A and B are shown apart, each in its own frame.
Chain A
Amino acid sequence: AQSVAQPEDQVNVAEGNPLTVKCTYSVSGNPYLFWYVQYPNRGLQFLLKYITGDNLVKGSYGFEAEFNKSQTSFHLKKPSALVSDSALYFCAVRDAAFNTDKLIFGTGTRLQVFP
């Protein structure tokens, strides 16, 4: 069965510093990987995805993520954090094999960027 782990409930970073939000996954085949962001009292917004190809994926609002197959990780990164990046971030995985269509989410990581 597929699964996603976000090992940090909260990440604190000062504005202007680089940030990393961690995600590891488990699937039987190749993964489709996604990052979403949720601002307070809002639905989820898509940030970026990895389907195939280049391991470094660039997305919205200056975010990027690196797919590492050997470590089964897909960490979200940004070179310079903004206070407005403070939100709840979710990693999600779908097994690319056609035996399942489920998209499974992690438990989320709250990012707090301090001025």
Chain B
Amino acid sequence: NAGVTQTPKFQVLKTGQSMTLQCAQDMNHEYMSWYRQDPGMGLRLIHYSVGAGITDQGEVPNGYNVSRSTTEDFPLRLLSAAPSQTSVYFCASSYSRSAEQFFGPGTRLTVL
């Protein structure tokens, strides 16, 4: 049982480049979320999903897209990276609305 996995661990992009951050979980959790962590800002919710085919926006969705075609995977896409998207990104999953979230190890993204 690997839990929540994220790839890559580190990434450097140039402004305007696109990329996809991968997130997968093997716990059959319906709920999955993406957060970004910035100093002094805590964790801010980007997008979340309550099941395959269902996604919704969080607090800071601009510049990011998501899709949920399977229960296991929840990729986060940056279509045109900007320096303001330099951050640490965490993916998380949970069994239900009242259950605790399990977090992945994070992806540290730098946009030059």
**A residues apposed to B, CB below 8 Å:** 6, 9, 32, 34, 36, 42-46, 49, 51, 90, 92, 94, 96, 101-108
Contacts and interface: CB of A to CB of B under 8 A. Distances in A.
Interface residues of B, number: 25
A45 B103 CA distance: 7
- Majority-rule SS of B interface residues: strand
Interface of B: 31, 33, 35, 40-45, 48, 50, 56, 58-59, 90, 92, 97-98, 100-106
A49 B105 CA distance: 21
Contacts of B42: 6, 90, 105-108
B103 A43 contact: yes
B11 to A, nearest CB: 16
B98 to A, nearest CB: 5
Contact of B101 (A6, A46, A51): A46
Instruction: Point out which of B58, B59, B98, B105 has the most chain A C-beta atoms below 10 A from its C-beta.
Output: B98
